[in-house]
Structure 1
Amino acid sequence: MTQTFRHRALTALALAASILPITAQAQSKPAPISEAEVRAHIAQLASDAFEGRGPGSAGETKTLDYLAKTWASYGLVSGTNDAAHPWFQPVPLVERKPYAQAVHATARGKAVKLAEDGVALSGRNPADRATGEPLFVGYGIKPDGTLNADVKGRIVLMLSGEPKFEGAAKLPGLRDRQKMLAASGAAAVLITAPDGVPWSALRAQLANGSMRLASDDVSAPIAGVLRGDVSEAMLRAARLSAADAGAKAAVPGFVPVTLPVTLDLATSTAVRAFDSHNVIGKLPGTKPGSGAILLLGHWDHFGICRSEEAEDRICNGAVDNASGMAVLLTVAERLARGAQMDRDVYFMGTTAEERGLLGAYYFADHPVVPLGDIKVALNVDTVAIAPAGAPVALVGRGENGLDGIVDEVAKSMGRTVDSDTEANAFIRRQDGWALGAKGVKSIMAGGSFSDMKLLQAFLTTVYHQPDDELTDATPLGGAADDANLHVELTRHFADEAKYPAAPTGD
């Protein structure tokens, strides 16, 4: 779809959404949100007709149409506060899809066999090449967060885990470390495959391409991920086992090691620049100047994610994250039917979360309402995991002073509370992180993160696969519980008397 046609189509959708009749009638105590209501929205968003909701695809247009028109039918208005772009905030992106690669390795003049299917490469440009002996940099940084080596012109091998230097403050995450290496002139940045993600799923995801914000398009000429056996073969050339390499890299004084293997890497990549969109609606409050509450979740998934030969080509993303968007839709409907709140309440569906929280980062840099006015941001993601009655866990517990309020509201609804901090392992992996990094109090509350075994069962099976589809077995009791929880949380935070919050953000 061309940019001009997409712009006209989205403008037409925005106009249609703005003139839909408001059919909901205000009620003092609307009935609780039901599983059936949540299911109906998931069934639409995760249907094959939406083609997996890939950014920049026909599936995006259908998704934005559905979200904006549904919110408008409940009585929401455009939340972009921009007459030129009602409902939809353009997010300029650059997409790269690899379609060919070549990997050759030699050591001491002899060929080194590296499994081709254990290497996944992508280039910055249509054609890229890098040669040389790779530099193993461990986690790539010192305890002070600066790079630990001069990498200009080098092929770099880096561990994908998070560095944990004793006494060090919060350090750059994997994506930031990759960008630091690229900005310092690395010819190629190779990382080890992250733990806990099946290689087949990871490779399929990488083959589907990568996206970056056009304003933050920093990458090495070649980027890649190595399966465990491939990275171990390279480390063995320097007489390092994977365990030894990890242990040495965790020591503050670690010195990067040149691996005595000459790599010759080549890539062919399709590059596309385009606009995707965040979709934003608003329930106006009664007290202008009292601030705003933001509920958000990502609408995107991986689209048509398999080749034409595959039996099922579409990654529908029913749980991740049609379920979260279904919650935002049902919560908006209930709040619109109830008494008007003091503060404005914004509902946002972000784009390209699956590609690195890109829509959320763009919003954080280009907010439609000053970040200092956003008193609380509530992110909703992957909620159709837990059964009804699951305890409420928090992603962000102990980080921003919201724990006590969330716990009290949950208990008032008969929910139990999971008070440990296990769920904080996901802080950097969800849209709230982009806002929290800017000082906005952000949290993700719900039952899905209270049972790590149940969550891991999803993450290691259908997660990011075509099998993430809505079925009769999809547990929606917990999703309905979480929807009702967010109705009450929003009402609490939107009440200036109950939550007289100090300014946040920058």
Structure 2
Amino acid sequence: MITCIRRCALSVLALAAVASPVAAAMAQDRPAPISESEVRSHIAVLASDEFEGRAPGTAGETRTLDYLAKTWASYGLVSGTNDTTRPWFQPVPLVERKPYGQAVSAVARGKALALKEDGVVLAGRNPTDRVTGEPVFVGFGVKADGTLNADVQGRVVLMLSAEPKFAGAAKLPNLRDRQKMLADAGAAAVLITAPEGASWGALRAQLANGSMRLASDDKGAKIGGVLRGDVTQALMRAARLSPDDAIASAQDAAFAPIILPVTLDLATSALVRAFASHNVIGKLPGARPGSGAVIVLGHWDHFGICRSEEAEDRICNGAVDNASGMAVLLTVAERLARSAGAGAPLDRDVYFMGTTAEERGLLGAYHFADNPVVPLDQILVALNIDTVAIAPKGAPVALVGRGENGLDEIVDQVAIAAGRTVDSDTEANAFIRRQDGWALAAKGVKSIMAGGSFSDMALLQAFLTTVYHQPDDELTDATPLGGAADDANLHVDLVRHFADEAKYNPAPTGD
């Protein structure tokens, strides 16, 4: 994405004329820039061992919510739940499952088929589950029109985890949605291939940490699982298929599911816990009630105590993902509240929300989208902030959501007026469905994620393939915070623009 420098320069020249009025308006009442040290101070607290990795439903959640709410309140924000019986915290009912035992065996043509059990990770819905049967390979699980491609009632299903690609097809269901579709159609077990390029050790450790679902959407197959490449190959060979042939056939619009001549016997045991986690929501009241709202959000959660007692470092602290994003939310709220307190209130209400269980499937954001504290058609813009402590100072601004909702030109103008360059390609859109803004965008709310971390894919991938979701995601002297401070200041400007009724007055959106 940094290769767009020439395009970015042209974008700067093309937008200079329209950006100059924005720059002039911003210069009239610009707060002092947010510093790296301010961002660092909040990350140091949220990513400390005292907060135990901020897992939902733990003491770490309690400390995190307390810190966020009290800090926002100290700046002058009020509760944003709009519910006097539940100030600050929106309950999010969840169901957690932690696997603690599994057994896998296979028979092909009357003979035992050796499968390496460490190449299979299973998770059951109930304290104990067992499923047997011949697996049906369904390719991507869907046809070019997005509907299921097989009758899976009572079946063991094997599906590719890669995103489906059919010539001429529109957007198709993502992996999470395809798994849900198969479960809703009655599949007894849904097994997927390990995502290409993923570290099996890291994936296995993450899956062993358990899963969560919204209690309102607690549906699924009896058993779910992920297969390492060698296990998938062993099953495919039983049907005289190579993995390459299987993938190639699955990409054909005329693909027909294949029954693999293997009898699988899958058994699981799990700990099942229902509990309430929370989104934390603060509000900076605007001067013109009824003029709409802007929401700035990021997820506060991470993976908590994520390693066994024998490990030297047991805590996944989540400094970059996403204590850095929450630090930006805190500093942006402070600057805007300070301006409002000095007699320069914004027109619109601005909500600041820390969501729970993003790491488990955007659950807190989905719950908010289904149970908004303000009607969705009154939310004019949602700005999501996630994983910002990656890029150096001066990184170009990339958009997750470019070309999706008509916000590009405005964000580009504000960024250029603030002295930033713009990354105008759409590479960052690969992350659209992997961030909390998607839960709102799916409901029709204009949502975007803007910042430097997604402008350099090589730099981002270096993080994602090393310390991401590992105990090594800790705050150090080497953690790059120049880009995070830049993005914090950018969001001050973005919120001020979108919360100004004269500058931004779009048609209503949302359900």
Amino acid at match of 1:232: Q
Q: Partner residue of 1:482? A: 487
1:214 paired residue number: 215
- Residue in structure 1 matched with residue 476 of structure 2 by the alignment: 471
Q: Partner of 1:137 in structure 2?
A: 138
Q: Per-residue displacement from partner, 1:101-145 (whole Å, max 9, x unpaired)? A: 001011111111111111000000000001111100001111111
Gaps of 5+ in 1: 1-26
1:232 shift after superposition:
1.4
Residue 355, structure 1, aligned to residue 373, structure 2: no
SS of alignment partner, residue 215 of structure 1: helix
* 3-state SS, counterpart of residue 103 of structure 1: strand
Partner of 1:89: 90
What residue in structure 1 maps to residue 148 of structure 2?
147
Q: Which residue does 2:286 correspond to in 1? A: 285
Q: Does 1:419 align with 2:419?
A: no
Deviation at 1:196, TM superposition (A): 2.5
Q: Could you tell me how far apart the structure 2 residues matched to 1:225 and 1:290 are?
A: 48
Aligned partner of 2:365: which letter? A
Aligned to 2:160: 159
Name the SS for the 2:294 alignment partner: strand
**Partner residue in 1 for 2:189:** 188
- Correspondence for 1:50: 51
* 1:171-221 Cα deviation digits (max 9, x unpaired): 111111111111111110000011222111110000000000000011100
Distance 2:277 2:42 in 1: 22
Shift of 1:29: 4.0
SS in 2 for 1:280: strand
- Equivalent residue, structure 1, for 2:298: 297
Counterpart CA distance in 2 for 1:376 and 1:239 is 52
Question: Following the alignment from structure 1 to structure 2, what is the Cα–Cα distance between the partners of residues 33 and 196?
Answer: 37
1:171 matched residue in structure 2? 172
Give deviations 1:136-161, integer Å, cap 9, x for gaps: 00011111111111111111000001
2:456 aligned to 445, 451, 455, which one? 451
Structure 1 residue aligned with 2:39: 38
After TM superposition, list the pairs within 5 Å mapping 1:22-421 onto structure 2: 29-338=30-339, 339-421=344-426
Distance 2:196 2:405 in 1: 29
SS of the residue aligned with 1:63?
helix
Q: Partner letter of residue 299 of structure 1?
A: W
- Supply the distance in 1 between the matched residues of 2:446 and 2:267 (Cα, whole angstroms): 44
Counterpart AA for 2:468: Y
User: Which residue of 2 is the match for residue 432 of structure 1?
Assistant: 437
Rounded Cα–Cα distance in structure 2 between residues aligned with 1:247 and 1:188: 24
Q: Deviations over 1:236-274 (max 9, x none)?
A: 211221121111111111100011111110000100000
- The amino acid of 1:147's aligned partner reads L
Quick one: which amino acid aligns to residue 502 of structure 2?
A
1:65 partner amino acid: D
> Helix, strand or coil: the match of 1:70?
helix
Mapped partners of 1:421, 1:393: distance in 2:
8
3-state SS in 1 of match to 2:283: strand
1:395-418 alpha-carbon deviations (Å, 9 max, x no partner): 000000000000011001110100
Post-superposition Cα deviations, 1:4-43, rounded to whole Å, max 9, x if no partner, equal xxxxxxxxxxxxxxxxxxxxxxx95431000000000000
Secondary structure in 1 matching 2:360:
coil
Which sections of structure 2, spanning at least 5 residues, go unmatched? 1-27
Q: Which residue of 2 aligns with 1:24?
A: none
Residue in structure 2 matched with residue 15 of structure 1 by the alignment: none
* 1:309 CA drift (Å): 1.0
SS at structure 2 position matched to 1:331: helix
Report the residue type matching 1:487 in the other structure. V
Residue identity opposite 2:259 in structure 1: T
Counterparts of 1:137 and 1:411 in 2: how far apart (Å)?
48
Distance 2:319 2:424 in 1: 28
Amino acid at match of 1:161: A
Q: How many residues align?
A: 480
Q: Deviations over 1:324-378 (max 9, x none)?
A: 0000000000000112100000000000000000000000000000000000000
Instruction: Give the distance between the partners of 1:374 and 1:477, measured in 2 at CA.
Output: 30
Alpha-carbon distance in structure 2 between the residues aligned to 1:434 and 1:409:
25
CA–CA separation in structure 1 for the residues paired with 2:420 and 2:501:
25
SS of residue paired to 1:252 = coil
**Per the alignment, in what secondary structure is the counterpart of residue 474 of structure 1?**
coil
CA–CA distance in 2 between the matches of 1:489 and 1:363? 22
Instruction: Give, in whole Å, the separation in 2 of the partners of 1:163 and 1:476.
Output: 37
Structure-2 separation of matches of 1:437 and 1:28: 35
State how far apart, in whole Å, the 2-side matches of 1:53 and 1:344 are.
28
| Cα distance in 1, alignment partners of residues 124 and 464 from structure 2 | 28
CA separation in 1, counterparts of 2:83 and 2:345?
A: 23
Q: SS state of the match for residue 439, structure 2? A: helix
Q: Which amino acid aligns with 2:156?
A: I
Alpha-carbon separation, structure 2, partners of 1:248 and 1:433: 31
Q: Which amino acid aligns with 2:58?
A: S
Which residue type is aligned with residue 191 of structure 1? I
Runs of 4+ in 1 over 3 A off after TM superposition: none
Distance 1:485 1:237 in 2: 56
Whole-angstrom CA distance in 2 between matches of 1:252 and 1:28: 57
Quote the residue 2:9 is aligned against: none
Instruction: Point out the more displaced range, 245-254 or 484-493.
Output: 245-254
SS in 2 for 1:197: coil
Residue by residue over 1:431-484, the C-alpha shift from the partner in whole angstroms, topping out at 9 and shown as x without a partner, is 000000000000000000000000000000000001100001100000000000
Task: Give the aligned CA root-mean-square deviation in angstroms.
Answer: 0.9
Specify the SS of the correspondent of 1:414.
coil
Identity %: 82
